[in-house]
Amino acid sequence: MYRILKQIARTGLVTETPPQADERYRLLSNRLQQAVLRSFAGALTIRQVDAGSCNGCELEIHATNNPYYNLEGLGIRFVASPRHADMLLVTGPVSRNMETALRRTYDATPEPRLVVAIGDCGCTGGIFGESYASCGRVSKVIPVDVAVPGCPPTPLQIIQGILTAIDIRTAAG
């Protein structure tokens, strides 16, 4: 226990300032996450769905929870069921064998049911494209609010995409 405490003290606080929503992905970013999160009672929950990725995007989604980015510190948390989720974070391309599972996950998610497509493949089908086995981009299968390009997008880009989706929905209504 002593060693653990010593290591924690030695490490200190490494969390960096969270990014603001990026203009590139759409709309403005005039408020920081606190104001935005008010419309979600201070907490946003995300269900991540790998609908066919190479697992590269998953590595970076994992990284958003490391102490540097500390996504959970912004009140944003990954949950185990779509029924508990406000947002789906979907990586693609959507394989034909995941098409039904993705639709069912979407149907099981309660409103506001935000969808953020992650990665070049989620945005366009990427290097895998459309084929007998791949539906291509996520929006071919379910409605998408924000698409974050990159192969894979960095943790900062992913977090920016999440904030942008919240912004759009807050602005809309």
**Binding residues for other proteins (CB under 8 A):** 3-4, 7-8, 11, 14, 48-63, 65-68, 78, 80-82, 93, 95-101, 105, 127-134, 151-152, 154
C-alpha distances in Å from residue 129, one per residue of 14, 78, 141: 39, 28, 14
Q: Which is nearer to other proteins, 124 or 168 (CB)?
A: 124
What are the residues whose beta carbons fall under 8 Å from the beta carbon of 107, sequence distance 6 or more? none
Rounded least distance, CB 20 to other proteins, Å: 21
Q: Which is nearer to other proteins, 22 or 58 (CB)?
A: 58
Residue of 35, 122, 42 lying closest to 86 (CA atoms): 42
Rounded least distance, CB 7 to other proteins, Å: 6
Q: Which is nearer to other proteins, 33 or 105 (CB)?
A: 105
Q: Which is nearer to other proteins, 4 or 172 (CB)?
A: 4
Rounded least distance, CB 66 to other proteins, Å: 4
Q: Please list the alpha-helical segments (H only) found in the chain.
A: 2-11, 33-37, 56-63, 99-108, 119-124, 155-172
DSSP annotation of 50: E
Rounded least distance, CB 96 to other proteins, Å: 3
Q: Are 40 and 77 in contact (CB under 8 A)?
A: no
What are the residues whose beta carbons fall under 8 Å from the beta carbon of 114, sequence distance 6 or more? 86, 87, 88, 145, 165, 166, 169
Rounded least distance, CB 78 to other proteins, Å: 6
Q: Which is nearer to other proteins, 31 or 56 (CB)?
A: 56
